[in-house]
Copies of this chain bind each other. A is one copy, B any other.
Amino acid sequence: MAAHSPFLEGNQNVQRSVLPSQLKIACSNCNLRELCLPVDLSIGEMQQLELLSHAKHNYTRGSYLYRIGDKLHSLYAIHSGSFKTQFLHEDGREQVTGFQMVGEIIGLDAISTDRHNCDAVALENSEVCELPFNKLESLSRELPSLQRHLHKIMSSEIVRSQGIMLLLGSMRAEQRLAAFLLNLSQRFAARGLSPTRFQLRMSRQEIGSYLGLQLETVSRAFSHFQDDGLISVKVRSIEILSLQRLQSCLNSSP
């Protein structure tokens, strides 16, 4: 989706040198990548922001970060690990609406109603930084660049959803899976991780739910890609052998 700029990363101290046009920082206690990186803040402002996110919490695989109906207190910046968000259908079935990884912000769904509209579940043991939403709002009233960036994050989420609507509405199984893998690839790349070899932290079931497919169809699509030499999968480990050829899967006509 959105192009990511290169960045520095680390867990060193708070003080950073301010680089010419783009402030490159990593928060002392949390990689607030999404929230901080493109924002052009002074060091003093950064410190204010960091004060926001003093609380870091751990979540074990399968535990809930929040549940449908929970009151909105905070947004969360994922410091390590990953989550899924899911709607719960009246009739019991669930639909995965997204997978979130390191550096992404989770919880935006709750702002409209003051209550969370989906569940967020840890896919592995994970750490999140809590960003009390009231404080975020008041700080963004003082810092126009933070305000703008908060708006951008929300708008990105809208654009992301629209991309998935496109995927669900007009792509077939293998195109969907290709799009999904390429999206993961880009997100790993943007974090300086390998864009071709990574772990799938979610089950075939969850991938299927996200892509509007049955788990068997997902499995078959994986097998097919493998037979065609596009990827090499071993259950949860995947290597993309040709990003280019995978990309060309997206442009098949019907």
Interface residues of chain A, those whose CB is within 8 Å of chain B, are 2, 87, 89-91, 93, 95, 97, 108-113, 117-118, 137-138, 140-142, 144, 147-148, 150-159, 161-166, 168-170, 209-212, 250-251, 253
* Residues in B neighbouring A113, C-beta threshold 8 A: 2, 155, 159
| Other-chain contact of A212, B87, B112, B169 (Cβ < 8 Å) | B169
Residue among A87, A152, A159 facing the most chain B CB atoms (10 A cut-off): A159
* Residues in B neighbouring A150, C-beta threshold 8 A: 151
B91–A155 CB distance below 8 A: no
Taken together, the copies of this chain in the complex come to 2
The CA-CA distance from A210 to B169 in the complex, in Å, is 7
Q: List 7 A-B contacts (CB under 8 A).
A: A108-B155, A112-B152, A112-B153, A113-B159, A117-B162, A137-B148, A165-B168
Asked whether A162 and B118 contact (CB < 8 A) given A108-B155, A155-B109, the answer is yes
The CA-CA distance from A212 to B211 in the complex, in Å, is 13
* Residues in B neighbouring A118, C-beta threshold 8 A: 162
| Other-chain contact of A95, B91, B108, B159, B165 (Cβ < 8 Å) | B165
User: Which chain B residue has the least Cβ–Cβ distance from A95?
Assistant: B166
* Residues in B neighbouring A169, C-beta threshold 8 A: 95, 168, 209-212
Q: A89-B166, A137-B144 are in contact. List 18 more A-B contacts (CB 8 A).
A: A2-B113, A87-B165, A90-B251, A97-B166, A108-B155, A108-B158, A109-B158, A110-B155, A111-B154, A112-B156, A117-B159, A137-B148, A151-B154, A154-B154, A154-B158, A158-B158, A161-B161, A169-B212
